[in-house]
Structure 1
Amino acid sequence: MAKPLETEVHAADLELARACARGDATALATLEERIIPQVRAALKRRDVDDTTADEALQVLRARFLVAEGTVPPRIMEYAGRGPLSAWLRMTALRLAWGLLNERKESHLPDDGPLEALGTAPDDVELQYLKERYGADFNAAFREALGALEPRARTLLRMHLVDGMGTARIAEAYGVDRSSVKRWLATAREWLLDQTRVRFAARVGVSVPELDSLLVQLRSQLDLSIQRLMSRNPGAP
């Protein structure tokens, strides 16, 4: 007696997943052509906007299709007990909802860049900067972070929140490590520049302490990004 169609479909999905884990180009192309559009359609049905869907899917690809050192790609965890599209869809939805929730967080008084640094009792200048400009500076930084273009935000999330090295990210994007390093550096500089612009718009361009504030921000920029983004990581 022939096996039920549903079993055959799941077996085919299992074979596809294993081939993707091996890095088979044909399997990866099939995943992109057959499975990813189904996942994207599911996100759209849940009212996830295109930008968030793109970001969620890119994080999904990096987490599930790229090996981490000697650890195989996480798509190997798929056991074929349901459609591959459904298995990936739930992860993509969790990622998307995490990203959306992150952007809705408009009041984060304890997680701004100045709060990422402890203040020594004798550090009078930093204590003054926190008390005088902390709220405006933190708000300017959060606005700049929220305004990052999708690829830059995704790259920073992969690198700083998910802990992915530049080699792994490069493999996920199909580029060399130097490109990833350049993208990350550009994203960081854009954040610093936009924080300056937005802070100046809030309190005035002639604030003499602005350079000191930017020095403080640069010194713990990655930590500040990590703290804000990790509030809603959307991890499966």
Structure 2
Amino acid sequence: MAKTPDTEVHEEDLALARACAHGDTVALAALEARIIPQVRVALKRRGVDETTTDEALQVFRARFLVADGAMPPRIMEYSGRGPLSAWLRMTVLRLAWGLVNERKGPALPDDTPLEALSAAPHDMELQYLKSRYGADFNAAFQEALAGLEPRARTLLRMHLVDGMGTARIAEAYGVDRSSVKRWLATAREWLLDQTRTRFAARVGARVPELGSLLAQLQSQLDLSIRRLMTTEGDAP
């Protein structure tokens, strides 16, 4: 016999979700204590590793528990039709699947990130660099981006792909804005350093054009990150 849809409104769960949307600390603590552990168990059963689960939960907190300007937190999307725990499990599971797919590696048809670099058509130097070193340089950048530790990757995705400001991210992490700005700066610096190291390992450390390529990348770093992460596929 087919299972009948759950049309009952779960009033207690709905009230909890609404209280969380309004930033009620007691409600948020209840969500963390009562439902988040169930989500962790569910994701583990689906084969999601602990690091990805932690990252997906942090993305959930930032996207669904923190207001986006005049827009209320997205946990308001929960209608009470079905248990809040089930809605939360599916929401976080979709986020986790997006993160897993992202880490499988990019499938890029163009020469991103060099394609993102601004240059006039007559800029012969950049055209030469893209032609001569494009594949190796882009591979080095992609490897560096894939090697970011989870928190740094999540922060860059929130800020550059999801368009979250540092104040909103700080609220989600429970820190001040200066900490978020420092984390983002460190992530960008690490990416540049790792790109330099990996590119030099591919083509030789004495390539004179390396400095020019890195300068171009640094000037368009955020755009390059955004292009690559967007091409990899966003979590919902």
Which range, TM-score by smaller chain? over 0.9
User: Which residue of structure 2 aligns with residue 135 of structure 1?
Assistant: 135
User: Which residue of structure 1 aligns with residue 216 of structure 2?
Assistant: 216
User: Which residue of structure 2 aligns with residue 233 of structure 1?
Assistant: 234
Q: Which amino acid aligns with 1:233?
A: D
TM-score by length of structure 2 reads 0.93
Q: Percent identity?
A: 79
* Structure 1 residue 168: Cα displacement: 0.4
TM-score by length of structure 1 reads 0.93
* Structure 1 residue 107: Cα displacement: 3.8
**What are structure 2's unaligned runs of at least 5 residues?**
1-6
* Structure 1 residue 199: Cα displacement: 0.6
Asked whether the equivalents of residues 13 and 80 of structure 1 are also in contact (C-alpha less than 8 Å), the reply is yes
Q: Which amino acid aligns with 2:67?
A: A
Asked whether the equivalents of residues 113 and 138 of structure 1 are also in contact (C-alpha less than 8 Å), the reply is yes
Q: How does 1:97-108 map to 2 (within 5 A)?
A: 97-108=97-108
185-194 or 102-111: which moved more? 102-111
Alpha-carbon distance in structure 1 between the residues aligned to 2:119 and 2:189: 25
Q: How many residues align?
A: 229
Give the 3 Å change call, closer, same or farther, for CA 111–68 of structure 1 in structure 2.
farther
* Structure 1 residue 117: Cα displacement: 2.4
Alpha-carbon distance in structure 2 between the residues aligned to 1:85 and 1:110: 42
Alpha-carbon distance in structure 1 between the residues aligned to 2:228 and 2:193: 18
User: Which residue of structure 2 aligns with residue 172 of structure 1?
Assistant: 172
Structure 1 residue 20 corresponds to structure 2 residue 20:
yes
Q: How does 1:140-219 map to 2 (within 5 A)?
A: 140-219=140-219
* Structure 1 residue 218: Cα displacement: 0.5
Structure 1 residue 47 corresponds to structure 2 residue 47:
yes
Q: Which amino acid aligns with 2:39?
A: V
* Structure 1 residue 51: Cα displacement: 1.4
Alpha-carbon distance in structure 2 between the residues aligned to 1:165 and 1:69: 10
Alpha-carbon distance in structure 1 between the residues aligned to 2:214 and 2:52: 29
**What are structure 1's unaligned runs of at least 5 residues?**
1-5
Asked whether the equivalents of residues 105 and 146 of structure 2 are also in contact (C-alpha less than 8 Å), the reply is no
* Structure 1 residue 104: Cα displacement: 1.2
Please give the secondary structure, in 1, of the residue aligned with 2:82: coil
Could you give the per-residue CA deviations for residues 62-104 of structure 1, whole angstroms, max 9, x where no partner exists? 0110011222111111111011111121121211111111111
User: Which residue of structure 1 aligns with residue 3 of structure 2?
Assistant: none
Asked whether the equivalents of residues 21 and 72 of structure 1 are also in contact (C-alpha less than 8 Å), the reply is yes
Could you give the per-residue CA deviations for residues 156-202 of structure 1, whole angstroms, max 9, x where no partner exists? 01000110000000000011111111110110001000100111111
Asked whether the equivalents of residues 66 and 171 of structure 1 are also in contact (C-alpha less than 8 Å), the reply is yes
Q: Which amino acid aligns with 2:234?
A: P
Alpha-carbon distance in structure 2 between the residues aligned to 1:36 and 1:57: 8
Aligned residues: CA RMSD: 1.5
After superposing on structure 2, the runs of 4+ consecutive aligned residues of structure 1 that deviate more than 6 Å are: none
